[in-house]
Chains A and B, each alone.
Chain A
Amino acid sequence: DGGITQSPKYLFRKEGQNVTLSCEQNLNHDAMYWYRQDPGQGLRLIYYSQIVNDFQKGDIAEGYSVSREKKESFPLTVTSAQKNPTAFYLCASKDRVGNSPLHFGNGTRLTVT
């Protein structure tokens, strides 16, 4: 089955540590996205990538970094510079051809203490 895999489902880290969240898709989609979901704030765009080896900042990119070395993979690193890293992180992808919708992964809940 085609889809988006985010791992792990739950992640715990100590403050001051960088942590990388995995996102893999086998849908052959060109565009991939990272969103952060917080209660009452909806989904806020962190980074997105329209093509391999290219990505753009979203609205809340500070304290995060990404890479897009392969079409199917778009890992997100939450750095120690992110002030409030504890959140639910959603990865998504879509086909750039036509007007296709986003497909979402199951999400990773990151807790930093």
Chain B
Amino acid sequence: AQSVSQHNHHVILSEAASLELGCNYSYGGTVNLFWYVQYPGQHLQLLLKYFSGDPLVKGIKGFEAEFIKSKFSFNLRKPSVQWSDTAEYFCAVNARNTDKLIFGTGTRLQVFP
């Protein structure tokens, strides 16, 4: 069965600091990978996704993620965070041949000015 681990539960940064949030999944086959973000009081929304091709994918608001197949990882990065990035971030995965989408436990990011 597929599963997703997010090891950072709560991250606190100052503005302009660099961000990297870890995401590891367990599944032996081909997967689709996602990062979703939930800003305070808002819907979950898609930040970026990886299906195939270039393992470095760029999303909205300056975020990017790198798929490293050998490490079963899909870490999220941003070179310089802003106060408006304060939110909860969720990694998600589905096996390529199913619609079953599994989420990680989420990482709460707080950015202070």
Give chain A's interface residues, CB within 8 Å of chain B: 31, 33, 35, 40-45, 48, 50, 56, 58-59, 90, 92, 94, 96, 99, 101-102, 104-106
| Interface pair B101/A102, CB less than 8 Å apart | yes
B69 CB to nearest A CB, Å: 17
User: Which residues of B does A touch, CB under 8 Å?
Assistant: 6, 9, 32, 34, 36, 43-46, 49, 51, 90, 92, 99-106
Q: Please tell me if the beta carbons of B34 and A56 are within 8 angstroms of each other in the complex.
A: no
Interface of A is mostly: strand
Q: How far is the CA of A40 from the CA of B105 in the complex (A)?
A: 6
Q: Are A41 and B46 in contact (CB under 8 A)?
A: no
Q: Which residue of A lies closest to B51 (CB)?
A: A99
Q: What residues on A are CB-neighbors of B99 within 8 Å? A: 31, 48, 50, 94, 96
Taking a contact as CB atoms under 8 Å apart, the answer to whether B46 and A101 are in contact is yes
- Determine if A42 and B46 form an interchain contact, defined as CB atoms under 8 angstroms apart: no
Q: Given A40-B9, A41-B105, A43-B90, check contact A56 B49 (CB 8 Å).
A: no
20 A/B residue pairs, CB under 8 Å, sorted by A: A31-B99, A33-B101, A40-B9, A42-B6, A43-B44, A43-B103, A44-B103, A45-B100, A45-B103, A48-B99, A48-B101, A90-B44, A99-B49, A99-B51, A101-B34, A102-B36, A102-B101, A104-B45, A105-B43, A106-B43
